[in-house]
Structure 1
Amino acid sequence: MTNAPAPPLPVAVIDVGATAMRLALAEVAADGSVRPLEHLTRAVNLGKDVFTDGAITPATMESCVAVLRDYRRVLEQYDLSPGGRGLSGGGAGGAEAGGGRLRVVATSAVREATNRLTFLDRIFAATGIEIEPIDEAETTRVTYLGVLPYLQADPALHEATAAVAEVGGGTTDLLAIRGGDVRFSQSYRVGALRMREAVRAAAGASPRHLWERQADRAARRMAADLPEDASALVALGADVRFAANHLMPPQPGAGEEPEAGPDAAAQRLPLSCLREFLDDAFARTEDELARLYHLPFEQAETLRPALLVNLRLAEALGLEEMVVAEVHLRDGLIRDTAARGDWTDRAAAQAVQSAVHLGRRYRVDTDHARQVARLADRLFEQLAERHRLDARHGRLLSLAALLHEIGLFVGTTGYHKHSMYLIANSDLFGVSRRDLSVIGLVARYHRRASPKATHTPFTQMDRPERVAVAKLAAILRLAKALDESRSGRVKDVIARVDGDRLILTAPGVDDLSLERLAVKQSGPLFREIFGLRVLLRGG
């Protein structure tokens, strides 16, 4: 008898952006294929409020409440109404809802609002919907998940070093991807609505002149940051999609939002066409653009600055055309939410690769770091019943193991503290600031003092995260001790609990004198946290 395939999983995401709140509903099959069900968009003034005055006005709050109440009624039709608090952990937010999954995220406008907490509390009190503000690292990770199938479906783009850019209302997210691997990722405080509001506050020069100056400066910086072999630009975002759909031959289903994802046809937009379109657009007012192209006024406001940034970036890369992809942030969110926030193997590998590159920048002993990470992974896996941490914490332990010695670049004295500082102030692909703090603290406690109440970064965390840091640091200490000789001779470790003892066995290794001494020195933290004495034996 064969098992029947699992039924498609209903998934919903709401993207609370600077200019609009967007709801996407889809069914995700067991093989990962996505069938869109419904897509709704409602304009909001979040970005206009925040990028002008720094705070969300009461009127905008209430308009957001009204939109989310309407969206909740739609969700209820799919048995996807909010059913609980968002799951924590590195962007793994989501709520179980009627057997499906729901995730509600907010980007730069909410993240930067001075009254962010008031806004989030008001939304939750009025609608029962909990919004998760995501940072730039999470945005780029989710964008990667959404755009990867699209790139893989086009052999030329997949093999090239493709710059993937999305000019949003408040930020521009930029990735460089080749063969599915992320070679660069960065978020810039350059957004269409942010640019527009800055020009409104200026006097004298024409908006076009000021926008061109901003776009030129931003594009040159972005192009300089990208790998030198970047040979294609994949542009995302509603503004550039509108321009491509208007300028290129009509696509199937004209009049509706085109289907997103890898099956959507690539649109090659010549820069010459985009320049002509911009010349015409700058000859018109925003009201005229809205009437002429039947655009929401909020999109008419962002159209010109957004297209300018895309155009200038393509020019800075020496291109004659750009590829406009029917891919949205919501595509990545749907796939990520359907997977219950678990990273795909590909995305997790990008974070590891990013950590290895960071380690090399600080001249880390890469062989030792990788060996410690392998042993830490083995211990984490075998001690699951003792530490009771989730897969996210396992990933953070691996990254901490790869980076625990980067502080040696600064100096040998107190280098574990330098490691914490460097990690917390660096960027790793797809790793949030919150998780960078955890990784930094785990690296900080891989030697010397145990976590203490006088250590401010540690005490500022909530209790579950403090406990997780202590557990991970105790495991990392053992993993490092097992490669004390830096020879890699301990190929594997078998962990077994016997009463009040944790017995570690290193198969095939007879001389463990250095490792046994190191385990003895690192064991007190493990006993303090787990209540087990640690013994090391040869196999």
Structure 2
Amino acid sequence: MTSPAQVPSTPLLPISPRPVAVIDIGATSIRMAIAEIHADGDVRTLDTLVQPADLGREVFAVRRLSRKSIERAATVLKQYQRVLREYGITPGPDLRIVATTAVREAMNRVAFTDRIFIVTGLNIESIDEAEVSRITYMGIAPQLRGEPELADGRSVVVEIGGGNTEVLVIRSGNVMHSQSYRLGSLRLLQQIESSRVSPSRRRSFIESHVRRTLDNIVADVSEDPTNRIVAFGGDIRFAAHRLLDDWDGTSLTPLPTEKLADFTNEILQLDEDTIVKRFGASFIEAETLGPALLAYTMLAQAFQQPFLYVCDTNLRDGLLHDMAVGGSWTDEFRNQIIRSALGLGRRFDFDESHARNVAELSRKLFLQLAREHQLDYRQEVLLYVAALLHEIGLMINVRSNHKHALYVIRNSEIFGLSRSELLQVGLVARYYRRAYPQQSHEGYGSLGREDRVTVAKLAAILRLAIALDDTRSGRIQEIECVREAKQLVIQVPGVEDVSLEQVAMRQNAGLFRDVFGMPVLLRAGR
């Protein structure tokens, strides 16, 4: 008999790379990227496909997608399906299809996504500006970390797309500002057509519209001697390929503003047919090139930058990096959301010390009550943000500050949070006091059942955390949650007298009892 020591070990087989794909339905084209994700999280792009689809022009003009455009998109996606099958990629977690500004602004976007599903069986996700910013950050952050001058500096990351201009301000890896502006090359063209601008006035018309948006961008971003413009998008890459002989097409590279201005002047003097013939552009590229490059040039000049960095990163790169981490919010990304929330709170002069104490106590309650609430990591982040901002409405009105908190949060920009998530955060903050959630309340009644239950659970936990810091002294830092005889006992180690907090807990624990079916007892630690 062979002894155990003599049994040969079975060699570990290498884990095969996982094939994935992302499809981006934009204002001017439908693009697909196919990649493989390795076991260490590394992403390697295998193939890219681009098909023109002029969805933005009609949406920006009449707010609807025509039957012809819908069928064109369905045809392109059917073609992409054949390629996906060759790579062994089927609908599911290995395929993500997103639609941006054009589809999002179409009044018949549901009819569009339903028709695509009927024809192809594919689900399209219409993502808002916050999700675009999050995905952009996922794609651009590795590039910035790899460039010494940008890694510790202040990067103003800009993409001028067909419908919107996306701006991210990143310093040392931290997002300082994110905003979407209604300035896009295709939107500008639509405005030119609707206003019947003569060819001689075309440039001045574009400059006038761009300048109005630039004034807002400059005011939002603020002057800083360390500002560096990082530009990405098809139009700026098109220019860089023709102006920079030594660019490898992938790395960050500086493009002199003066060179870009000269090239922009040349493009604006040519008609679309000449641009197509001279530079090998598609017709849609030829249309959008002039307005987009003029906007990039004016942006660099507004920030007094002698050059701007051109980046090959795009939305699909961010989507692929997001898939590599399983769509989860990393600790780094969680910190970005919280920094953005703190920035909002400071603008409303909130009690930051109390807010931070309540947020930390909320997090500890959330972790220790995981068996009861059955929520995931994302909901913990939403609770934390709501805890930070629950008193943000005090600056507006003390009596109804909880309702004003909902309004402020719902109508603000917090980096990384979608409109739906902002509504949930606002509602959790709204229910930190007074009435319990009710179907008739603004915002709450519009939620689906799952989100309504989530809001109720998080608001119940938030009320407990607020009671624990009722003295606003921060003296309660640690807690231990114990289930005893069908009740929740919160023990406070190291604090002998919690009589004030016990009074607050009796007032605040009713929602928790109703949601989780457990009364709450606060007990001093031994």
How does the TM-score come out when normalised to structure 2? 0.95
Query: Residue 243 of structure 2 aligns with which residue?
Result: 247
What is the match of residue 182 of structure 1?
175
Report the counterpart of residue 160 of structure 2 in structure 1: 167
- Report SS of the residue matched to 1:485: coil
Match of 1:227 among 206, 222, 238: 222
- Does residue 491 (structure 1) correspond to residue 486 (structure 2)? The answer is no
Instruction: Please show how residues 260-409 of structure 1 align to structure 2 within 5 Å.
Output: 264-409=250-395
Query: d(CA) in 1 for partners of 2:137 and 2:14?
Result: 28
Aligned residues: 513
Unaligned runs of 5+ in 1: 83-94, 253-257, 259-263
* Among 502, 517, 520, the residue aligned to 1:531: 517
- 1:85 is matched with which residue? none
Match of 2:4 in 1: none
- Map 1:54-73 → 2, pairs under 5 A: 54-73=63-82
Separation in 2 of the partners of 1:504 and 1:7? 48
Taking the aligned partners of 1:488 and 1:251, their CA distance within structure 2 comes to: 55
1:191 to 2:184 alignment: yes
Per-residue CA shift, 1:80-125, capped at 9, x if unaligned? Answer: 211xxxxxxxxxxxx32xxxx2211111100100111111111111
Alignment partner of 1:216 is 2:211? yes
Q: Secondary structure at the match of 1:66?
A: helix
- Which residue of 2 is the match for residue 23 of structure 1? 32
> What SS does the aligned partner of 2:399 have?
coil
Shift in alpha-carbon separation, 1:40–1:363, aligned structure 2, 3 A: same
Q: Alignment identity in percent? A: 45
Shift of 1:3: 7.4
Structural mapping, 1:137-148, within 5 Å = 137-148=130-141
- TM-superposed CA distance for 1:136, in Å, is 0.8
What secondary structure, in the 3-state scheme, does the structure 2 residue paired with 1:25 have?
strand
State whether structure 2 residue 89 is matched by structure 1 residue 80: yes
By how many angstroms is 1:32 displaced? 2.8
- For residues 209 and 268 of structure 2, the distance between their equivalents in structure 1, rounded to whole angstroms, comes to 16
Structure 1 residue 158 corresponds to structure 2 residue 167? no
Say whether 1:238 aligns with 2:220.
Answer: no
Alpha-carbon distance in 1 for matches of 2:114, 2:168: 33
C-alpha distance in 2, partners of 1:159/1:304? 33
8 Å Cα contact 2:223/2:303 also seen in 1: no
Counterpart Cα distance in 1 of 2:421 and 2:406:
12
Counterpart Cα distance in 1 of 2:127 and 2:361? 32
Deviation of 1:79 (Å): 2.5
Q: Say whether 1:9 aligns with 2:18.
A: yes
1:461–1:249: structure 2 CA closer, same or farther, 3 Å change rule? same
Partner residue in 2 for 1:35: 44
Residue 11 of structure 1 contacts residue 338 of structure 1 at CA under 8 Å; is this kept in 2?
A: no
Paired residue type of 2:466: K
Q: State the alpha-carbon separation in 2 of the partners of residues 213 and 412 from structure 1.
A: 43
- Return the offset for 1:351: 0.8
CA distance in 1 between counterparts of 2:434 and 2:195 reads 55
Task: Give the alignment of 1:108-127 within 5 angstroms.
Answer: 108-127=101-120
* Structure-1 residue corresponding to 2:3: none
Listed one character per residue, the Cα deviations across residues 367-415 of structure 1 (whole Å, up to 9, x for unaligned) are: 1111111111111111112111122111100100000011111122121
3-state SS, counterpart of residue 509 of structure 2: helix
Return the match for 1:462 from 444, 448, 454: 448
The residue identity in structure 1 corresponding to 2:326 is R
Q: How many Å separate the matches in 2 of 1:439 and 1:171?
A: 26
Q: CA deviation at 1:251?
A: 4.0
TM-score by length of 1: 0.92
In 1, are the aligned partners of 2:97 and 2:125 still within 8 Å (CA)?
yes
Q: Which amino acid aligns with 2:425?
A: I
DSSP 3-state at the match of 2:195:
coil
> Distance in 1 between the 2:15 and 2:434 partners?
50
- Given the alignment, which residue of 439, 445, 459 partners 1:473? 459
1:48 corresponds to which residue?
57
Aligned match of 2:493: 507
Measured on the aligned residues, the alpha-carbon RMSD in Å equals: 1.6
State whether residues 219 and 316 of structure 1, in contact with CA within 8 Å, keep that contact through their aligned partners in structure 2.
Answer: yes
Q: Structure 2: which 5+ residue stretches go unaligned?
A: 1-8
Q: More displaced, 340-349 or 192-201?
A: 340-349
More divergent stretch after superposition (220-229 vs 439-448): 220-229
Q: What is the letter of the counterpart of residue 27 of structure 1?
A: E
* Distance 1:10-1:227 versus aligned 2 partners, 3 A rule: farther
| Alignment CA distance shift 1:41-1:3 (3 Å) | same
SS of 1:279 mapped into structure 2: helix
Instruction: Tell whether the 8 Å contact from 1:47 to 1:170 is kept in structure 2 after alignment.
Output: yes
In 2, Cα distance between equivalents of 1:336 and 1:517: 46
Contact 1:234–1:323 (CA<8 Å) still a contact in 2?
A: yes
CA contact (8 A) 2:247 2:253 kept: no
CA distance in 2, matches of 1:436, 1:331: 25
Q: Summarize the Cα distance change of 1:338–1:204 in structure 2 as closer, same or farther, 3 Å threshold.
A: closer
